[in-house]
Amino acid sequence: MHLLPKTLHVHDPWNLAIVDWLQSIVEPEEEPFMSWTSKKDLVYSYDLSLPSEAQKAAEEASRAASAAEDEALKIPKVILILPQQTEGPTDEPAIRAVLPQRPRKLTEVPEAHMYLFPVGKLGTGNHSVVYKAEWELPRDLFCESTICDECVREKVDEEVKRLKESGEWEQRLREAVSAYQNDRDVSQEAAPSDTMKVVDSELSPNAVPPKKGVGFIRVTMEVEPLENTRLMVSPGKLEHGEPLGEDGAPHYRVKLRDPAINRVHQYEGPTITIHPDVKWQNPSYPETICEHRKLYDKPVPRTARFLVAAKLSLPGDDHLEREAQNYLKFPAHFFQHWNGYNIVSSLQDPTPIGPVVPQFFGYYVPHIKLTWINYCLSPILLIEHCGKPVDILKLTLDDRQECQALLLRFHLAGWLHESFAPRNILVREEHPTTSPLERTTNPTHKFRLIDFGRSKESTDSTERVIEVLSGQQTLKNGKPLSDAHVRFLRGESICVSALL
């Protein structure tokens, strides 16, 4: 939450953020398409609005992230360059290349931009209107700075050559050997870690090498175990007389991949420390990209744009603010992506356990409140764009059960939706990180619940049962709920025969 932009600049040439009561009642005529450059850009500034408890939590998280970044920057990044990759005595010592301090990661986002356009309208309800918008953020949030290993090798070679030509190399080597002999119990391991990694490179000799046996390298092999899986096949495809499984179904084992063999190098001996003059590189800053990476790391804008759903409120309506507060109260697992399946209580079949609700990107209010008789500058709720409302008639049985599982998981966390309807169930036919090819060859449906302006925390089991049964009727996933059943679940007196 501490990474949500503090200020949002809304670019709105069509004045969509100024909500009109009359336009909410009378559907306006369709406006012909106009390019963005044909309109004068209107920019409104919004501030992130959080309740006091959420604001305090965000400030504490920001301080914790900043402190963690300070501690991380204190640990030097080191690359251990081995003189050879074969096992045995070495002619040269290992080089301990200490890198410059990396650029500081962002621990807060002061501002961001959003672009509204009428062709992105997603829908209109009784209390709000939703647009598909472009959200522009600093690319530094997503692109980490890295070091080019080739540059490190070149700079180290240049420094080693300079030391040898100036005569400093022999002196440094004697000091390193003396320090190593004084502390023989300390061995330098060349296994990669968070702060040290091995560059598979041999230093080119630039002068007369020192005496043999400066250090020693041990090479061990680690073999990863084979991964196997059981594939179910039809009897007609069973080959080579493979036996049936214990459950009577034919199966066989197939190897997914060959075993991976990892070479682990351990170095024992003196090391010479060098501080190579290399730069941390980031695609957002083209001037930092070296010649080695220009072939595949093309310059990119310093900002990145994402499609989001921007929900605007009608004048005088508080549903949007209540919905934003509910998003902040939802448990973390409502937003988390999990792999696999789970059997939710009152369902007999397993269903996917992805997120229940869209990701929440903040609730923003106008920096300067503009209000006229029939107009107002609407607050904005930013959430993940999760597709379009479902068509119940086009859903498979598995799809309907997955939608019902979302409602049941909502209840198990102690919440009532209070507006469960097809218009408030969104479906997207791909995962946000799925490649275009995989979307074509293996399309999957992802469902989310939306519209929580009426939702509330509740421990009343009767209310939950009523909503579940009503949801079954909505999803055509069970027998219709009669008025007698509803009155019975509410605790009213009812004749038993009316329930039969």
Measure the CA dihedral 107/113/118/124, to 10°. 40
Provide the domain limits for residue 466: 386-499
According to DSSP, residue 6 is labeled S
Spatial contact of 15 and 131, defined as CB atoms under 8 Å apart: no
Residue 107 maps to a domain = no
The pLDDT value given to residue 381: 98
Residue 340 maps to a domain = no
The pLDDT value given to residue 133: 97
CA atoms within 13 A on the CB side of 78: 20
Residue 408 maps to a domain = yes
Spans of the chain, pLDDT less than 70: 20-34, 184-213, 225-258, 370-375, 430-443, 478-500
| Rounded (5°) CA angle 431-109-330 | 50
Q: For residue 53, give every residue at least 6 positions away whose Cβ sits within 8 Å of its Cβ, in sequence order, or none.
A: none
CATH number at residue 442: 1.10.510
The pLDDT value given to residue 445: 86
The pLDDT value given to residue 340: 87
Residue 467 maps to a domain = yes
Residue 390 maps to a domain = yes
According to DSSP, residue 276 is labeled -
- Strand locations in 101-207 (E): 111-115, 121-124, 128-138, 196-199
pLDDT digits (tens, 9 = 90+) for 250-289: 554 555 566 778 888 899 999 999 999 999 999 888 899 9
d(CA 500, CA 488): 12
pLDDT digits (tens, 9 = 90+) for 137-181: 999 999 899 999 999 999 999 999 999 999 999 999 999 999 998
Residue 422 maps to a domain = yes
Residue type, position 70, single letter: D
The pLDDT value given to residue 249: 52
Residue 470 maps to a domain = yes
Q: For residue 374, give every residue at least 6 positions away whose Cβ sits within 8 Å of its Cβ, in sequence order, or none.
A: 20, 21, 22, 315
The pLDDT value given to residue 209: 39
Number of domains in the chain: 1
| Rounded (5°) CA angle 449-455-458 | 115
Could you give the strand order of the β-sheet that contains 196-199, starting from the edge strand earlier in sequence?
196-199, 78-81, 94-98, 271-274
Q: Is 335 left (phi over 0), alpha (psi -120 to 50) or beta?
A: alpha
Residue 454 maps to a domain = yes
The pLDDT value given to residue 204: 40
State the pTM of this model.
0.79
